[in-house]
């Protein structure tokens, strides 16, 4: 079992979007028994909350459900529990490394560094542009799934 954790600041916009899109791609490829996906926040601000309305409605447009998803905060034990711990932007990556006490570990990296975009995922909490975020998240998830499939 390969375990993937997406991390952003609030765990209501970007990382739950990546979690839901990645799970959808995995289901469509029949790989659900091999790859598990989760997401978490750096902050404690939205613990227990469902994804942001903008994330919910954008995903709904693409037939992807967010039912049952709830925000949670990154914990130290996540370092052992996951094979990939992926920050949605470079601040997230820096904060993950600090919190987990892992300045160099290759399992912690920035999401879009897997793609030709090589940039932060813009935060739609501030930009309001959930489409831009969705398009980048889809690219990143496809790249991540290709990388994982090579290791299966
Ligand atoms: P996210 O976006 O990190 O993509 O979930 C944010 C969500 C909430 C806040 C900031 C960013 N906030 O300030 O509450």
List, as own/partner pairs, every contact residues 53-59 make where C-beta atoms lie below 8 angstroms and the sequence separation is at least 24, other chains included: 54/13, 54/124, 54/128, 54/130, 55/12, 55/13, 55/14, 55/16, 55/17, 55/124, 55/130, 57/130, 58/17, 58/130, 58/131, 58/133, 58/134, 59/17, 59/20, 59/21, 59/134
Per-residue confidence of the chain (152 residues) as pLDDT tens digits? Answer: 999 999 999 999 999 999 999 999 999 999 999 999 999 999 999 999 999 999 999 999 999 999 999 999 999 999 999 999 999 999 999 999 999 999 999 999 999 999 999 999 999 999 999 999 999 999 999 999 999 999 99
Q: Work out how many domains the chain is built from and give that number.
A: 1
Tell me the catalytic residues. 8, 14, 123
Chain segment 8-44, per-residue pLDDT in tens: 999 999 999 999 999 999 999 999 999 999 999 999 9
Give yes or no for residue 13 CB within 6 A of ligand 1: yes
> Quick one: pLDDT at residue 119?
98
pTM over 0.85: yes
CA-nearest residue for atom 12, ligand 1, is 10
Phi, psi of 84 (to 5 degrees): -130, 125
Task: Output the CA 42–ligand 1 centroid distance in Å.
Answer: 10
> Quick one: pLDDT at residue 59?
98
> Quick one: pLDDT at residue 48?
98
Task: Output the CA 10–ligand 1 centroid distance in Å.
Answer: 4
Q: Range of 85's domain?
A: 2-151
CATH number of the domain at 126, please.
3.40.50.2300
């Amino acid at each position: 079992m390969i375990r993937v954790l997406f991390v952003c600041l609030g765990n209501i916009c970007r990382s739950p979007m990546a979690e839901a899109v990645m799970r959808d791609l995995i289901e469509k490829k029949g790989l659900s028994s091999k790859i598990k996906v989760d997401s978490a926040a750096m902050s404690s601000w939205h613990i227990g909350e469902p994804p942001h309305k903008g994330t919910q409605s954008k995903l709904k447009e693409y037939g992807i459900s967010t039912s049952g998803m709830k925000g949670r905060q990154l914990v130290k034990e996540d370092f052992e529990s996951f094979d990939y711990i992926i920050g949605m932007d470079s601040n997230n990556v820096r904060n993950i490394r600090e919190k987990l006490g892992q300045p160099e570990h290759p399992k912690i990296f920035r999401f879009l560094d897997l793609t030709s975009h090589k940039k932060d995922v813009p935060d739609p909490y501030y930009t309001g542009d959930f489409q831009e975020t969705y398009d980048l998240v889809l690219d990143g998830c496809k790249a991540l799934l290709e990388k994982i499939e090579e290791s299966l």
